[in-house]
C-alpha cells in the first residue's frame, strides 16, 4: 500500500472516532442539561414542601386543621412546583421533644415525591428522574420570649357553687383555676418565658402569700397584690413544673375570701412587668375572674372611680397598660348575669355587666368566656397557644 493510501485510511478512522466522540459529548451535554433541570425542579419541590409544612404548623395544635392547611398550600394548591409531574404528598404531625407547647402536636412533617421527565436523557436510557423533598416545621417553637403576669381572682365566690351554696373544703372553682393555671405554666418555656402572679383581694402585708385578709379587703393601692414576681424557676423545662418554686407553690396554696376589684391588681401587675420585665420582651397580663368588680381601696374617697365605678376603672387601668404595649387577656369564669356595683352596693352608672367589663378589659379579641367551669384547662391552653402563635419555623428532624 502506498503512503498516500495509508494516510487516507487513517483519515477515515479518525473521522469515525471523532463522530463517536461528538455523539458521546453531546449525550453528556444533554445529560448535564437534564440534571440541571432536575436540580431546579427539585428545589421547587423542596420549596413546596417547606411552604406546606410552615402553613400547616401555623394551624397547630389543631391537627385536623394543620393537615387541611398543609394540603391546600402544597402540591395542587397555592405552591404547586412547576416542572414536576405525578407529585405525591404525605403529611404527618407529631410532638418534637425539647420544643415547648406540645399538647396534641407541635410539628408538621411534609414529604413529597415527584417525577421529572428528561429532555435528552431518554437517548441514553434515562427517561426521567425521581426527586424527593422533606420538610418539618414546628409551632409554637418558643423563640419569642414573654414576660407574663397572671392575675387570679380568689374571692369568696371561688368556693361556692353556682347556686351560691358553700363549697368548702372542695372549693371546686378554685381547684379548677389552679389546674388551668398549671396547664398554662406547663406550656411555657422557662428558658424564655418569665411568669409572675398577682391576686385579688391582695394578700396580707406580711406572712404567707396565701393568707387571706379580713374585711375590708382593700385598704390602699399599694396593697400586696403581686405575690410572686416575674420568675423562671416554675419549671425545669417545658412541661415539667417545679412544685417547690414560689410560683407553683403559691398557685397550689391559694385560699378564697373577700370581694372583687380589678383595677389595682391590673395596675400592680403592670408595675411588676415594668419593674422586673426584660427589655424588648412582650409584656402580657392574663386575668381570671368569676364576677363583677364591686369595691375598691378604702383609702380612696367614695366618689373615686375606684370605688364608685370599679368595673369602669378596671377597664381604664387595663387601657393604660395596653397603651404601654402590654397584651391583656381576660377569662370570664362562669360570670353569668353578674352586674357591676359600687362600694355602696348600688349599680354602677352607666350600668355594665361582668361579661361586658371583662370583655372590655381584654385587648381586642383576647376575651375568653367560660360558661363551663370544667373547661378552664382548655381555655388556659388556648391562651397559651395564642401567645405562642406565629413562631413557626423549619427545623431539622431526623426522627
Supply the pTM of this predicted model. Answer: 0.71
Mean pLDDT of 52-75: 83
The predicted pLDDT at position 102 comes to 67
Report which of residues 61 and 21 the model is more confident about: 61
- Return d(Cα 9, Cα 191) in angstroms, integer: 83
- Return d(Cα 344, Cα 340) in angstroms, integer: 11
The predicted pLDDT at position 202 comes to 95
Q: Who's near 288: CB < 8 A, 6+ residues apart?
A: 150, 151, 152, 153, 177, 180, 181, 330, 331, 333
Q: Is the CB of residue 79 less than 8 Å from the CB of residue 47? A: yes
Mean pLDDT of 325-346: 90
pLDDT (tens digit per residue) in 238-247: 788 999 999 9
- Return d(Cα 89, Cα 66) in angstroms, integer: 14
Handedness of CA 366, 372, 377, 381 (dihedral sign): negative
Q: Is the CB of residue 62 less than 8 Å from the CB of residue 108? A: no
Mean pLDDT of 25-51: 69
Q: Is the CB of residue 220 less than 8 Å from the CB of residue 239? A: no
**High-pLDDT (> 70) share of the chain, %:** 81
pLDDT (tens digit per residue) in 356-367: 999 999 999 999
The backbone region for 106, taken as left when phi is positive above 0, alpha when psi lies in -120 to 50, beta otherwise, is alpha
pLDDT (tens digit per residue) in 153-185: 999 989 888 777 888 888 888 999 999 999 999
pLDDT (tens digit per residue) in 68-106: 888 887 655 555 666 677 778 889 999 887 665 566 788
- Return d(Cα 339, Cα 353) in angstroms, integer: 4
| Whether residue 17 has pLDDT greater than 60 | no
Give residue 314's pLDDT band: very low, low, confident or very high (50, 70, 90).
Answer: very high
| Whether residue 118 has pLDDT greater than 80 | no
Q: Who's near 364: CB < 8 A, 6+ residues apart?
A: none
| Whether residue 1 has pLDDT greater than 80 | no
Q: Is the CB of residue 157 less than 8 Å from the CB of residue 70? A: no
| Whether residue 9 has pLDDT greater than 70 | no
- Return d(Cα 301, Cα 230) in angstroms, integer: 32
| Whether residue 119 has pLDDT greater than 80 | no
Q: Vertex 390, ends 368 and 362: CA angle to 5°?
A: 25
pLDDT (tens digit per residue) in 229-285: 999 999 998 788 999 999 999 999 999 999 999 999 999 999 999 999 999 899 999
The predicted pLDDT at position 28 comes to 57
Residues present in the chain in total: 399
Handedness of CA 295, 297, 300, 305 (dihedral sign): negative
Q: Is the CB of residue 117 less than 8 Å from the CB of residue 164? A: no
Q: How far apart are the first and last CA of the chain?
A: 74
Mean pLDDT for the chain overall: 84
pLDDT (tens digit per residue) in 368-396: 987 665 678 888 988 987 887 666 788 88
Report which of residues 75 and 324 the model is more confident about: 324
Least confident of 17-21, 222-226, 319-323: 17-21
- Return d(Cα 208, Cα 334) in angstroms, integer: 28
H helices of 58-107, in order, are: 63-73
The predicted pLDDT at position 208 comes to 86
Going by C-alpha positions, the residue among 246, 247, 287 that lies closest to residue 264 is: 287
Amino acid at each position: 500500500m502506498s503512503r498516500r493510501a495509508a494516510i487516507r485510511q487513517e483519515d477515515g478512522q479518525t473521522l469515525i472516532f471523532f463522530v463517536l466522540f461528538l455523539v458521546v459529548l453531546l449525550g453528556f451535554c444533554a445529560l448535564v442539561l437534564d440534571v440541571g433541570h432536575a436540580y431546579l425542579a427539585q428545589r421547587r419541590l423542596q420549596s413546596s414542601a417547606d411552604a406546606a409544612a410552615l402553613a400547616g404548623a401555623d394551624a397547630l395544635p389543631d391537627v385536623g386543621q394543620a393537615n387541611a392547611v398543609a394540603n391546600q398550600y402544597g402540591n395542587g394548591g397555592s405552591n404547586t412546583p412547576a416542572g414536576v409531574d405525578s407529585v405525591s404528598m404525605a403529611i404527618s404531625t407529631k410532638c418534637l421533644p425539647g420544643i415547648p407547647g406540645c399538647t396534641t402536636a407541635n410539628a408538621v412533617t411534609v414529604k413529597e415525591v415527584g417525577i421529572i421527565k428528561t429532555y435528552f436523557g431518554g437517548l441514553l436510557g434515562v427517561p426521567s428522574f425521581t426527586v424527593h423533598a422533606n420538610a418539618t416545621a414546628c409551632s409554637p417553637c418558643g423563640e419569642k420570649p414573654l414576660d407574663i403576669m397572671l392575675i387570679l381572682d380568689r374571692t369568696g365566690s371561688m368556693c361556692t357553687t353556682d347556686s351560691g351554696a358553700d363549697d368548702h373544703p372542695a372549693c371546686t372553682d378554685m381547684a379548677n383555676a389552679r389546674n388551668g393555671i398549671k396547664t398554662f405554666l406547663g406550656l411555657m418555656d422557662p428558658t424564655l418565658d418569665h411568669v409572675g402572679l398577682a391576686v385579688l383581694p391582695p394578700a396580707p402585708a406580711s406572712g404567707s402569700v396565701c393568707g387571706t385578709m379580713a374585711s375590708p379587703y382593700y385598704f390602699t393601692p399599694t396593697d400586696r397584690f403581686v405575690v410572686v414576681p416575674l420568675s423562671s424557676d416554675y419549671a425545669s423545662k417545658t412541661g415539667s413544673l417545679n412544685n417547690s418554686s414560689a410560683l407553683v407553690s403559691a398557685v397550689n396554696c391559694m385560699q378564697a375570701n373577700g370581694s372583687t376589684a380589678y383595677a389595682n391588681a391590673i395596675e400592680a401587675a403592670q408595675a411588676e412587668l415594668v419593674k422586673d420585665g426584660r427589655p424588648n420582651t412582650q409584656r402580657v397580663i392574663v386575668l381570671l375572674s368569676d364576677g363583677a368588680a364591686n369595691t375598691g381601696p378604702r383609702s380612696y374617697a367614695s366618689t373615686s372611680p375606684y370605688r364608685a365605678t370599679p368595673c369602669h376603672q378596671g377597664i381604664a387601668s387595663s387601657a393604660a397598660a395596653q397603651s404601654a404595649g402590654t397584651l391583656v387577656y381576660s377569662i370570664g369564669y362562669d360570670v353569668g348575669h353578674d352586674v357591676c356595683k359600687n362600694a355602696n352596693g348600688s349599680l354602677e352608672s352607666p350600668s355594665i355587666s361582668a361579661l361586658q367589663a371583662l370583655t372590655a378589659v381584654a385587648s381586642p379579641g383576647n376575651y375568653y368566656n367560660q360558661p363551663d367551669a370544667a373547661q378552664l384547662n382548655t381555655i388556659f391552653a388556648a391562651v397559651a397557644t395564642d401567645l405562642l402563635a406565629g413562631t413557626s419555623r423549619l427545623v431539622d428532624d431526623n426522627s
